[in-house]
């Protein structure tokens, strides 16, 4: 079974199921011969098996199903009425198919079986008026004798010209096949040649038992007279199949997989969502009760729920290969029509993501790949003159990172011609010349994502039909993803899609505004800024009454959530005297600050859709139920940004935010997080190695093998110091600050005294140990290096 | 919902009052009647949407029927919820008081008089002439959907 490849396996599983269905369909059809729907369904099943078997190169199977299909056509079209004989014939065909499938499953090949007599019988059934077609004996393992006919074990049965008699024997035949097989293997081949035309089939080379005669009269070995009316025999088919079942090889593929309705999975997913909410509620209650046994029970509940959630999510997960599989073909066809040579390389095809998301990215992926081949990769002679191999390469890469799936489509083509993009964007009126001058290369590259943009100098039938990358971008954003283009002229282009693993349960930041709680999906969350007292007044400036904040030297437009939602009971001016919480969010390529009253905490929330009447409000992405049972709205960051004109629909005011992308490692500086490790010193940690910043109550620290750990997002997170050694909170404060470093899907918490700042420094050499940042000596720590030795969970629990 | 109407002359209504009006909703459409629940308001939503509530894990939109009918907005702390199943999901109508479940005869039904105008005309399908008072039949679909 191991040697079977994936496609064949799937084919087998699917076909077994279909065949079982087919049996019952056929029997039902006998009752109601005119049930056209059923006939059509039978036809489709046979047709699809035929198609696949042809594709997988199983000629015997194809032949059998082909003839069966031929018989089904007049039935379906009403030219032929289903009789018992025909039903028998079809059932025999189903058995034959099942037999071949079993052969394939156990040996990987179709086996020796020949089904000539079955074929001829089916042919004949199809055309009852015509002269009896050639009949052959079938000595294959499949059709031997009647069940009761033990003494005739070696005998292959005769097939006899008149239809009515023939199929009876065959239909019942396969039971004793095992015994018969040995004897008949030889004859099988011989019998083929021995086909005689018309009404007889004396296969002379057959053994004695196979003394089939041309005459309608049954031959002696055939105990149940073939002449007997078909009906009882048709019945006999049933029990025989039943008894046949246990004979199957124990490792039947169909037994190891179950096909499920996706709806059932969706329902399970919903229920698990409910469970997660109830769990959150119970845990909240249990905190009020100081009872060890309740706490223990809650912890178990917590763990089980998390595992269940993961398990159910897994059932919906599919490898991205499913979305990629058709791409090589697309590329091949496209390349040959463009006269290019392109090789497709896939990496990380096993990466799994939610089925819904998988479906949603199929089309965008195809579009991007077509674009890459059409516009990206140059023709062979151009490539050669540029010193590249004739054959272009297209990489498809997928990998998990920080709860998201990254998909990269990389080509080694000419890259995006920035000059042409500029020219085009200006000529199309998408941006002004002044704006273009201020834009960074990256921003210019991403101009191709604007609606109405297409750089193809000539419109081909492949791409450049006006349906541009903007559609791709919209589709990706619809499922909460982002699209980014990076291009190096002459070297190639990289398109990166980041999408969430699943849409149903997402981590979110809970905030309060005017007494109501709202959830902000963490995907769009960049950082939190808190301005206290005077700072708030001083640092929030206005440009013609539009509030802005200088975040590391760049102007960050501010939106007040209470104003956006029109819940404001007082103006922001009066507010500025208090503490201001700014949630820095990313919407498309812009950043903006959302001013909220209070920042509560982060939580895994279950996204529930809003009712129809509320769906038109772009500020909300859905609703969720909080731990205390109340409903909270989930903010749609992009919707809010659009509403607040941070992101304008027509992109006319493309405000350049050069140097703003904090974790852009390209031409700009590194952003580093400055922390106090607890001893009053300064340590700089590159932001790229920081997954999140968290605060925990010091009481939440637990111990495993004398090492401090904390429960975090359903996992056990070890706590270490910046040097990688296990450490406890210094000082007596109740809150501990933790820098979460994520590696291989596991989180490691780096305990620090306090978080000081985030600064962007150009040319930080991560290798150097110390440098001066903001006028103070700061130690640079690369977490991925200092924590490299750190035990991952296995060792952790074993130690 | 007309199935019962065509098969028999009798219909059963769940009744409630809103201001001085006495309303009925076919009983089969009503999922349950519950006391006032904690609501989460939905800023930016149309005025008739009172908020969202958590009904055993399901998020249900609550509609202020009074606002819909043009009554002044009142405090809803005392309001009752009539939870109704609709083809588009479950919604809750906020009403003042819950009445009995009454059985009425179709012969008692009469469409609203022409003098009834405006929103009420659209929302009220007609009235059953019960003894002593009129039972107004609410058109749920219209009450829930876009403002007229």
Digit-coded pLDDT (tens) for A359-399: 888 888 888 888 888 888 888 888 888 888 888 889 999 98
What is the reported pLDDT for A580? 86
- CA dist A753 and A738 (Å) reads 9
- Work out the pLDDT band at A193, boundaries 50, 70, 90: very low
What is the reported pLDDT for B58? 80
Task: Using an 8 Å CB-CB cutoff, list chain A residues near B61.
Answer: 610-611, 613-614
A566 closest CB neighbour out of B43, B54, B145: B43
B49 closest CB neighbour out of A614, A623, A630: A614
Task: Using an 8 Å CB-CB cutoff, list chain A residues near B49.
Answer: 613-614
Residues of chain A with pLDDT > 70, as a percent, come to 72
Weakest-pLDDT range from A343-347, A634-638, B4-8, B53-57: B4-8
What is the reported pLDDT for A3? 52
Residue with the two structure tokens 């305990």:
A751
Whether residue A581 has pLDDT greater than 80? yes
What is the reported pLDDT for A402? 63
Yes or no, beta carbons of A565 and B41 under 8 Å apart: no
Whether residue A534 has pLDDT greater than 70? yes
Phi, psi of A300 (to 5 degrees): -65, -45
Using the CB atoms, write b or e for A229-264: b if 16+ within 10 Å.
ebeebbebbeebbeebeeeeeeebbbeeeeeeeeee
Chain B nearest CA to A632, separation (Å): 7
Yes or no, beta carbons of A516 and B40 under 8 Å apart: yes
What is the reported pLDDT for A524? 84
Better pLDDT: A452 or A667: A452
What is the reported pLDDT for A594? 92
Q: Which residues on neighbouring strands pair with residue B62, listed in sequence order?
A: B51, B92
Yes or no, beta carbons of B44 and A611 under 8 Å apart: no
Q: Which domains does chain A have, with CATH numbers?
A: 6-256 (1.20.120.160), 262-315 (1.10.287), 319-500 (3.30.565.10), 505-643 (2.30.30.40), 670-798 (2.40.50.180)
Chain A nearest CA to B54, separation (Å): 6
Whether residue A207 has pLDDT greater than 60? no
A613 closest CB neighbour out of B54, B59, B61: B61
Question: For chain B, how are helix, strand and coil distributed in percent, rounded to 5?
Answer: 20, 50, 35
Query: A605 in contact with B at a CB cutoff of 8 Å?
Result: no
Using the CB atoms, write b or e for B125-135: b if 16+ within 10 Å.
bbbbebeeebb
What is the reported pLDDT for A372? 84
Helix and strand element counts for chain A (H, E): 26, 29
Digit-coded pLDDT (tens) for A482-515: 788 888 888 888 888 888 776 667 788 999 988 8
Output the domain CATH number for residue B92.
2.40.50.180
Yes or no, beta carbons of A631 and B53 under 8 Å apart: yes
Q: Which of A217-226, A239-248, A572-581 has the highest mean pLDDT?
A: A572-581
Q: Helical H runs in chain B?
A: 3-7, 65-68, 118-123, 140-144
Mean pLDDT for A625-640 is 85
A611 closest CB neighbour out of B38, B44, B91: B91
What is the reported pLDDT for A772? 75
Mean pLDDT for A662-683 is 65
Mean pLDDT for A614-634 is 85
Yes or no, beta carbons of B43 and A623 under 8 Å apart: no
Mean pLDDT, chain A, whole residue set: 72
Digit-coded pLDDT (tens) for B6-50: 456 788 999 998 888 899 998 999 999 998 888 898 988 888 888
What is the reported pLDDT for B82? 92
Strands B97-105 and B10-18: antiparallel
Residues of chain A with pLDDT > 90, as a percent, come to 3
What is the reported pLDDT for A213? 39
Burial of A221 (0-12, 13-18, 19+ CB in 10 A): buried
Mean pLDDT for A693-719 is 81
What is the reported pLDDT for B15? 93
Alpha-carbon dihedral sign for residues A280, B88, B134, B74: positive
What is the reported pLDDT for A729? 56
The interface residues of chain A toward chain B in range 237-276, judged by CB-CB distance below 8 A, are: 274
B42 closest CB neighbour out of A608, A614, A630: A614
Query: B42 in contact with A at a CB cutoff of 8 Å?
Result: yes
Residue in A197, A215, A230 with CA at minimum distance from that of residue A89? A230
Burial of A799 (0-12, 13-18, 19+ CB in 10 A): exposed
- Work out the pLDDT band at A653, boundaries 50, 70, 90: very low
- Work out the pLDDT band at A731, boundaries 50, 70, 90: low
B54 closest CB neighbour out of A567, A620, A629: A629
Chain B nearest CA to A296, separation (Å): 25
What is the reported pLDDT for A442? 73
Angle between helix A116-126 and A163-173 (nearest 10): 140
Better pLDDT: B59 or A458: B59
- Work out the pLDDT band at A677, boundaries 50, 70, 90: confident
- Work out the pLDDT band at A226, boundaries 50, 70, 90: very low
Digit-coded pLDDT (tens) for A739-790: 888 877 778 888 888 888 777 666 555 556 777 777 778 888 877 777 776 6
Residue B135, domain extent: 3-144
The interface residues of chain B toward chain A in range 74-133, judged by CB-CB distance below 8 A, are: 88-89, 91
Mean pLDDT for A455-465 is 45
Residue with the two structure tokens 């007309």:
B2
Q: What is the ipTM of this complex?
A: 0.85
Whether residue A518 has pLDDT greater than 90? yes
Query: How many CB contacts within 8 angstroms connect chain A with chain B?
Result: 59
Q: Which residue of B lies nearest to A634 if distances are taken between CA atoms?
A: B42
CB A253 within 8 A of CB A16: yes
Query: B57 in contact with A at a CB cutoff of 8 Å?
Result: yes
Q: Which residues on neighbouring strands pair with residue A528, listed in sequence order?
A: A583
Mean pLDDT for A666-682 is 71
Question: DSSP of A517-546, one letter per residue?
Answer: EEEEEGGGEEEEEEE-THHHHHHEEEETTE
Mean pLDDT for A586-615 is 83
How far is residue A97 from each of residues A28, A83, A193, A234, A292, measured CA to CA in Å? Answer: 20, 21, 23, 18, 62
Digit-coded pLDDT (tens) for A92-106: 888 888 888 888 888
What is the reported pLDDT for A509? 93
Burial of A513 (0-12, 13-18, 19+ CB in 10 A): buried
- CA dist A518 and A41 (Å) reads 50
Whether residue A540 has pLDDT greater than 80? yes
Task: Using an 8 Å CB-CB cutoff, list chain B residues near A565.
Answer: 43-44
As for how many domains chain B has, the answer is: 1
Yes or no, beta carbons of A617 and B45 under 8 Å apart: yes
Whether residue A252 has pLDDT greater than 70? no
Whether residue A248 has pLDDT greater than 60? no
Chain B nearest CA to A559, separation (Å): 16
């Amino acid at each position: 079974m191991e040697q079977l490849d994936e496609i064949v396996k799937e084919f087998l599983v699917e076909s077994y199921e279909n065949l079982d269905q087919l049996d019952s369909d056929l029997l039902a059809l006998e009752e109601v011969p005119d049930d056209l729907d059923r006939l059509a369904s039978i036809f489709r099943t046979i047709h699809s098996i035929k198609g696949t078997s042809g594709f997988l190169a199983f000629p015997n199977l194809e032949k059998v199903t082909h003839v069966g299909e031929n018989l089904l056509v007049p039935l379906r079209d009403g030219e032929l009425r289903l009789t018992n004989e025909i039903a028998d014939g079809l059932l025999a065909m189903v058995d034959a198919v099942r037999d071949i499938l079993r052969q394939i499953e156990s040996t990987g090949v179709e086996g020796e079986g020949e089904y000539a007599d079955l074929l001829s019988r089916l042919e004949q059934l199809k055309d009852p008026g015509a002269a009896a077609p050639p009949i052959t004996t079938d000595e294959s393992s499949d059709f031997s004798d009647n069940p009761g006919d033990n003494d005739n074990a070696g005998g292959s049965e005769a097939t006899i010209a008149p239809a009515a008699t023939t199929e009876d024997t065959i239909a019942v035949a396969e039971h004793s096949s095992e015994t018969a097989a040995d004897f008949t293997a030889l004859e099988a081949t011989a019998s083929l040649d021995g086909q005689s035309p018309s009404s007889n089939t004396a296969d002379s080379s057959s053994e004695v038992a196979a003394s089939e005669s041309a005459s309608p009269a049954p031959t002696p070995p055939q105990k149940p007279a073939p002449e007997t009316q078909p009906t009882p025999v048709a019945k006999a088919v049933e029990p025989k199949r039943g008894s046949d079942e246990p004979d199957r090889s124990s490792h039947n593929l169909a037994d190891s997989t179950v096909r499920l309705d996706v709806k059932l999975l969706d329902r399970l997913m919903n229920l698990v969502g409910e469970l997660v909410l109830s769990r959150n509620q119970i845990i909240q209650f249990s905190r009020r009760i100081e009872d060890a046994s309740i706490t223990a029970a809650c912890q178990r509940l917590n763990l089980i729920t998390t595992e269940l959630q993961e398990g159910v999510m897994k059932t919906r997960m599919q490898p991205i290969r499913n979305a990629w599989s058709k791409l090589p073909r697309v590329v091949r066809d496209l390349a040959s029509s463009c006269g290019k040579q392109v090789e497709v390389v896939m990496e990380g095809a096993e990466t799994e993501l939610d089925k819904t998301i998988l479906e949603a990215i199929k089309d965008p992926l195809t579009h991007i790949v077509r674009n890459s081949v059409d516009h990206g990769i140059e023709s062979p002679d151009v490539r050669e003159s540029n010193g590249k191999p004739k054959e272009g390469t297209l990489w498809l890469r997928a990998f998990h990172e920080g709860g998201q799936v990254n998909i990269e489509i990389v080509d080694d083509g000419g890259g995006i011609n920035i000059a042409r993009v500029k020219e085009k964007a200006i000529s199309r009126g998408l941006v002004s010349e002044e704006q273009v001058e201020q834009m960074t290369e990256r921003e210019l590259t991403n101009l191709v994502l604007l609606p109405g943009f297409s750089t193809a100098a000539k419109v081909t039938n492949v791409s450049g039909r006006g349906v541009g990358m903007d559609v791709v971008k919209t589709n990706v954003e619809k499922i909460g993803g982002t699209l980014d283009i990076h291009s190096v002229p002459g070297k190639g282009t990289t398109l990166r899609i980041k999408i969430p693993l699943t849409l149903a349960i997402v981590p979110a930041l809970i905030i309060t505004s005017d007494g109501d709680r709202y959830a902000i999906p963490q995907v769009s969350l960049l950082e939190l800024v808190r301005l206290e007292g005077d700072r708030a007044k001083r640092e929030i400036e206005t440009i013609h009454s539009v509030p802005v904040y200088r975040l590391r030297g760049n102007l960050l437009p501010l939106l007040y959530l209470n104003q956006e939602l029109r819940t404001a009971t007082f103006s922001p001016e009066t507010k500025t005297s208090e503490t201001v919480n700014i949630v820095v969010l990313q919407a498309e390529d812009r950043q903006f600050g959302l001013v909220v009253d209070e920042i509560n905490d982060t939580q895994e929330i279950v996204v529930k859709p809003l009712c129809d009447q509320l769906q038109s409000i772009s500020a909300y992405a859905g609703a969720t139920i909080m731990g205390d049972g109340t409903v909270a709205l989930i903010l749609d960051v992009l919707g809010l940004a659009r509403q607040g004109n941070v992101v304008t629909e027509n992109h006319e005011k493309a405000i350049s935010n050069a140097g703003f992308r904090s974790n852009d490692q390209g031409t700009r500086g590194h952003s580093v997080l400055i922390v106090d490790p607890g001893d009053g010193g300064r340590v700089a940690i590159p932001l790229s190695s920081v997954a999140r910043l968290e605060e925990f109550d010091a009481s939440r620290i637990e111990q495993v093998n004398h090492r401090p750990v904390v429960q975090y997002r359903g996992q056990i997170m070890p706590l270490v110091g910046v040097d990688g050694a296990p450490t406890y909170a210094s000082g007596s404060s109740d809150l501990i600050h933790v820098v979460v470093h994520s590696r291989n899907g596991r989180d490691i918490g780096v305990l620090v005294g306090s978080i000081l700042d985030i600064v962007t420094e150009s040319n930080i050499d991560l290798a150097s140990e110390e440098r001066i940042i903001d006028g103070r000596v700061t130690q640079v720590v690369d977490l991925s290096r200092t924590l490299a030795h750190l035990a991952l969970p296995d060792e952790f629990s074993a130690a | 919902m007309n199935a019962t109407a065509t098969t028999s002359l009798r219909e059963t209504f769940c009744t409630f009052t809103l201001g001085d009006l006495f309303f009925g909703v076919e009983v089969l459409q009503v999922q349950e009647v519950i006391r006032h629940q904690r609501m989460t308001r939905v800023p930016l939503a149309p005025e008739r949407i009172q908020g969202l509530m958590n009904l055993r894990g399901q998020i249900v939109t609550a509609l202020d029927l009074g606002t819909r009918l043009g009554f002044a907005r009142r405090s809803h702390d005392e309001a009752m919820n009539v939870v109704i199943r609709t083809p588009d999901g479950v919604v809750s109508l906020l009403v003042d008081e819950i009445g009995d479940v009454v059985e009425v005869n179709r012969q008692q039904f009469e469409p609203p008089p022409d003098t009834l105008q405006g929103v009420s005309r659209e929302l009220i399908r007609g009235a059953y002439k019960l003894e002593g008072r009129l039972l107004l039949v609410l058109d749920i679909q219209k009450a829930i959907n876009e403002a007229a």
